[in-house]
Amino acid sequence: MREAACSCGQLRIACEGEPLRVSVCHCLACQRRTGSAFSFAVQYPRDRVAAAGRSSRFSRAGDSGNSATFHFCPACGTTLYWEFDANPDRIGIAAGAFADPRFPPPRHSVYEEYKHAWVTVPGDVEHFD
């Protein structure tokens, strides 16, 4: 069992087992959402996660054209998890919210055409423009 939480701890999500996907995304929308050069995220099957606490939400279309609904803490503003319109059986979760330096490394790097020149992604990761 792994648990991720927002900055203030009010919004939490518990995840059973290992993630289906661990990735970094360099798209401009993820850069804006995280305030960083990329997003570090995981995906779990919907039936293996349980959220607790209050969340506010917003939806937006990504660079792919698919929409996602992001859940964030109304107290501290942390975006903790999101739902994919195109893949409703999965939940995306901000990997840093697990606050675990032993968390599995990314296996996928997407939207690399937007990657900052100083960012280096390990060579054994699948790379996608």
Please compute the mean of the pLDDT values over residues 97-111 and round it to a whole number. Answer: 95
Domain-wise residue ranges, the chain: 2-116
Percent of the chain residues topping a pLDDT of 70: 100
Across the range 68-91, mean pLDDT stands at 96
Q: What is the layout of strands, in order, in the sheet containing 108-110? A: 56-61, 67-72, 79-84, 90-94, 39-45, 21-25, 108-110, 126-127
- Tell me the CATH architecture of domain 2-116: Beta Complex (2.170)
What is the torsion angle, in degrees rounded to the nearest 10, for the CA atoms of residue 113, residue 43, residue 100 and residue 124?
Answer: -50
Check residue 71 and give its pLDDT: 98
- The answer, yes or no, to whether residue 63 has pLDDT greater than 80, is no
Greatest Cα pair distance in the chain:
39
Checking phi first, is residue 101 left (phi over 0); if not, alpha (psi -120 to 50) or beta?
A: alpha
Q: What is the model's pTM?
A: 0.93
pLDDT digits (tens, 9 = 90+) for 5-51: 999 999 999 999 999 999 999 999 999 999 999 999 999 999 999 99
pLDDT at 64 over 80: no
